[in-house]
Structure 1
Amino acid sequence: MPERVLHAKPWSEEDEQQLPKLMRETAMTQFEIARKLGRTEAAVSNRLTVIRKRKQVFGAQSSRRTTGK
């Protein structure tokens, strides 16, 4: 029996901007947000991790630029 393969749809710029906003400004759980965006809870959790890591990397780079280090 062949394995079931799930094909994730790419994250749009709009979804990626909406995700942290929904987490900050609503009392929705990751599961509820996933349903709203048509994704799995794992996809939402993983994307939040990507966004946080990206923010840490780019945030650290921009702070170095402003301090001249």
Structure 2
Amino acid sequence: YDLNGTPAMITKEDDRLYLQVTGQPKVELFPRSETEFFLKVVVADIKFVKDDSGKVTKAILNQSGMTIEMKKVK
């Protein structure tokens, strides 16, 4: 994913999702629903957006009153 020009990886390990922004530690994403997750290390949540075929095309990060669109690059 592209987080305002900074690479960010979202990976699945043992049925858990993790977010790692370049230069920062990997953090676990905790589910609220099938497409919405939150972080415990900071007050933030991520919503995955799917296209009509069900493929995730981007993620929306909400943190500290800011909303950032993370475009899927791979």
Q: TM-score range by the shorter chain?
A: under 0.3
TM-score (norm 1): 0.26
TM-score (norm 2): 0.25
Q: Which has the higher helix share?
A: 1
Q: Which has the higher strand share?
A: 2
